[in-house]
Structure 1
């Protein structure tokens, strides 16, 4: 969560007393205290949400009295972004997610009216827009195509704000470097500073430092890390844009892909220069680059702009960079597995080449995905959420292998191992259901486990078309179960003949 525009309190301890909210600073302090309480109660999402909501209410009350206060406007908007995007808090929202994001967007736009050059507000506004676009991109209703086209426009707006934010930060960083240079030159010319420094070290303070209730605004300096964070956000937004273009090529105008490609290369060159002496950021940057390259390649392949050989070669190269330290990175191994699964899906969706060689490549890609996930699951310290993800994705990869046993692919090795692959998928999905802390993901994993169990018998010709047990067992009802099955068939996780 981005840091609030906060205050530094004097170290002198004071007894707690009821706060009187008379000034903008009073409202600011009260809001920050509620935020801090919300942060302390992260383990109790309901209680945490109540504190964050109180912070929003206090900032809102302050804005009623002080509508021109940028600090109050910024903090209100930022907390609204937090509760609409933090996984632990989203489930506690009292309104639909889209409504919460729209409220956060309106608050950020108000903050930018007060201070159009506020880099933090620009950055956070772009984050809200990206979250809205991701929600639009996941729309599977009758207006899905229109939602995806709108999502592309929203992401372009987010990128424009991020670009403006970066320009402001770069100017601020140059000013910081210049001030630092001048200060260093002055320090060299002044020799009598030693006495003053010694006095300060002895604990003396300037007059007025003990004044009761004194508060000061803090302004964090713009550093190289600040610039890197903004470029990484831009790369993330571009990755989301490429993902939507891959899923729905018609959602973006024809000139969008070359524009995205050019901007991506420019940003990758920029961040490489920025991070040359920032070795602690190299792994993070390499992962962001690999994810973007993978999404770009998928979009390019599906739109016919590159061939399968280029896709494979450049994808493999992106995830083979030494800075990624793939064999030690849980996040990197999972990302590589996802990229390989996306490669498999792209090969399935686009018939470009010899069917036999394509099926062999798909088999190799899927087994490599499973190997990456297995490696990730054995790394010490893996979180429960990540472990659940490895099992869920291994289930998907195993089910893809099983589906390759049926027409039109009928891959020989897949035919011989169909039952075993279905059994593996059942176990992985069952484990994912037990480990997942998200109820919807639990239910999806349970349904997929039941489908995998059904496919074990189906692959041996022991059952045909009777899915009633699967549908009746779904805790969300038959309609939801049928929709999930249709999605699995559309994604080629199960053979088309399953519902015939």
Structure 2
């Protein structure tokens, strides 16, 4: 989920009038709808969604009258971004996620035009760009994703520079006070209200309060930059990889350590851990891109994984465990893909990496019973089944080949688990994916092992599509898929 920067606003006044007249009144009316939406978000997503839609309509009306109100523009964009990060809300908004992200990007670009130096809107715009790029890439449109990610990185660089400047200014102001500088006496709380945001028509007393920049804010920007880089390396041409690697190295070895040392001592250990995990995720994606471009061999790829995931206390962090499991699974899929036409497939090393991945997921599930982890465990078992059923001319231990029926059964069990515990709307996407995978593995067990199941059968057309999806993701090979694929 994207991290979203929010302004701090002064305490709300009394209930807004029925017909807002000023920019402040439009903001107050929208605030009330947002508060209502927040109350119902967990218990009734539909009611929450309706309240947020009403808030967005109020923002639109306010911006029609006060086109240069940065507060209204920013908060409309921020609310849209929050909605896009919650699948349960998106399903009740009535707009497909990609279209909603495009609308959200337009709103952020509008706010950015009103105040192009505000670090919060710079940061949030980068988050929209990254989220949209991820959705487009998942839909197979990586060509459109690349410029979005590049723009996100440019905005994050500008955001970081602005944050560093503001922090330096804050430190200088604080030093002046310590050295005997004069501070203004404030007679009452009204003196705390800032001046209106530049270009903000009619904003009056309720202008936003820009909170001081902290080292944590700079680390958030580093994290977002590394996340965008990690996504981007999978799409660019191989000749562009080195420059992205240099950017990541600068972030992890220069900027991040500087910012970590600026934190209170009690916060440094957790921040160092987070940076190490960011680095591990980037290096694993970078190595995968280099391997697929024939720039490195599998041994180098695996050595890098071993090195970057040697993170202290990772066994106590579910994100670290699942990230490493995903990286080792991706290593296996890339190796299988690259050697699929050769009898010299390194099957047993791949098998070993999948065993490590499954052990990592087992450790993670003890920390949190997540449907996503059950789904991933099912996927790992399907890939292991793919290896266990490789042609006879591939060198593979008999014990691995004999495990194939059990692996198919395990995959079915894990997919059932994902369906069972994905009970709320937040996990609806995971639930639907697990249901599709469950239909595939049920068909597989019937076709190859004669095991009938009480699980509902998918229609042939749908099953063909899901099998094709499994081939694309490397969960099964083409020959096995053809053998089990029903006729349309």
Conserved in 1, the CA contact under 8 Å of 2:439 and 2:463?
no
Counterpart of 2:327 in structure 1 is 339
Q: Following the alignment from structure 1 to structure 2, what is the Cα–Cα distance between the partners of residues 493 and 7? A: 49
Conserved in 2, the CA contact under 8 Å of 1:418 and 1:456?
no
Q: Following the alignment from structure 2 to structure 1, what is the Cα–Cα distance between the partners of residues 120 and 468? A: 43
Q: Please report how far the alpha carbon of residue 3 of structure 1 lies from its aligned counterpart in structure 2 after TM superposition.
A: 5.0
Q: Which residue, out of 222, 227, 242, partners 1:236?
A: 227
Alignment of 1:89 with 2:89, yes or no, is: yes
Conserved in 2, the CA contact under 8 Å of 1:122 and 1:161?
yes
Alignment of 1:376 with 2:364, yes or no, is: yes
* Closer, same or farther: CA 76–216 of 1 in aligned 2, 3 Å: closer
Counterpart of 2:270 in structure 1 is 280
Q: Please report how far the alpha carbon of residue 254 of structure 1 lies from its aligned counterpart in structure 2 after TM superposition.
A: 4.4
Counterpart of 1:249 in structure 2 is none
Alignment of 1:160 with 2:141, yes or no, is: no
What is the number of equivalent residue pairs in this alignment? 457
Q: Which moved more, 1:356-365 or 1:117-126?
A: 356-365
Conserved in 2, the CA contact under 8 Å of 1:81 and 1:101?
yes
Counterpart of 2:419 in structure 1 is 433
Q: Following the alignment from structure 2 to structure 1, what is the Cα–Cα distance between the partners of residues 30 and 46? A: 18
Counterpart of 1:24 in structure 2 is 23
Q: After superposition, where does 1:454-469 map in structure 2 within 5 Å?
A: 454-456=443-445, 462=450
Q: Following the alignment from structure 2 to structure 1, what is the Cα–Cα distance between the partners of residues 34 and 477? A: 50
Q: After superposition, where does 1:38-187 map in structure 2 within 5 Å?
A: 38-43=37-42, 44-139=44-139, 144=140, 147-186=141-180
SS in 1 for 2:83: helix
Counterpart of 2:437 in structure 1 is 448
Q: Deviations over 1:140-180 (max 9, x none)?
A: xxxx4xx2112111111111111111111111111111111
Alignment of 1:367 with 2:355, yes or no, is: yes
Q: Deviations over 1:270-312 (max 9, x none)?
A: 1122113533322222222211111111111111112211111
Q: Following the alignment from structure 1 to structure 2, what is the Cα–Cα distance between the partners of residues 215 and 67? A: 17
Q: Please report how far the alpha carbon of residue 32 of structure 1 lies from its aligned counterpart in structure 2 after TM superposition.
A: 2.2
Counterpart of 1:389 in structure 2 is 372
SS in 1 for 2:405: helix
Q: Please report how far the alpha carbon of residue 429 of structure 1 lies from its aligned counterpart in structure 2 after TM superposition.
A: 1.2
Counterpart of 1:317 in structure 2 is 307
Alignment of 1:493 with 2:475, yes or no, is: yes
Q: Deviations over 1:83-108 (max 9, x none)?
A: 12223312222122222111111111
Q: Following the alignment from structure 1 to structure 2, what is the Cα–Cα distance between the partners of residues 313 and 151? A: 30
Counterpart of 2:200 in structure 1 is none
Question: Where does the alignment leave 5 or more consecutive residues of structure 2 unmatched?
Answer: 194-203, 484-488
Q: Following the alignment from structure 2 to structure 1, what is the Cα–Cα distance between the partners of residues 192 and 93? A: 43
Conserved in 1, the CA contact under 8 Å of 2:238 and 2:290?
no
Q: Deviations over 1:397-434 (max 9, x none)?
A: 11111111223446223212111111111111111121
Alignment of 1:9 with 2:3, yes or no, is: no
Conserved in 2, the CA contact under 8 Å of 1:366 and 1:401?
yes
Q: Following the alignment from structure 1 to structure 2, what is the Cα–Cα distance between the partners of residues 92 and 57? A: 16
Q: Deviations over 1:245-283 (max 9, x none)?
A: 2xxxxxx34432112111111111211221135333222
Q: Which moved more, 1:221-230 or 1:128-137?
A: 128-137
* Closer, same or farther: CA 425–217 of 1 in aligned 2, 3 Å: closer
SS in 2 for 1:8: coil
Counterpart of 1:480 in structure 2 is 462
Q: Following the alignment from structure 1 to structure 2, what is the Cα–Cα distance between the partners of residues 104 and 339? A: 31
Counterpart of 1:248 in structure 2 is none
Conserved in 2, the CA contact under 8 Å of 1:392 and 1:445?
yes
Conserved in 1, the CA contact under 8 Å of 2:80 and 2:104?
yes
Higher RCO (CA-CA < 8 Å; seq separation 6+): 2
Q: Following the alignment from structure 1 to structure 2, what is the Cα–Cα distance between the partners of residues 292 and 58? A: 41
Counterpart of 1:404 in structure 2 is 387
* Closer, same or farther: CA 215–128 of 1 in aligned 2, 3 Å: closer
Q: Following the alignment from structure 2 to structure 1, what is the Cα–Cα distance between the partners of residues 473 and 212? A: 48
SS in 1 for 2:476: coil
Counterpart of 1:255 in structure 2 is 239
* Closer, same or farther: CA 152–15 of 1 in aligned 2, 3 Å: closer
With normalisation by structure 2, the TM-score equals 0.86
SS in 1 for 2:21: coil
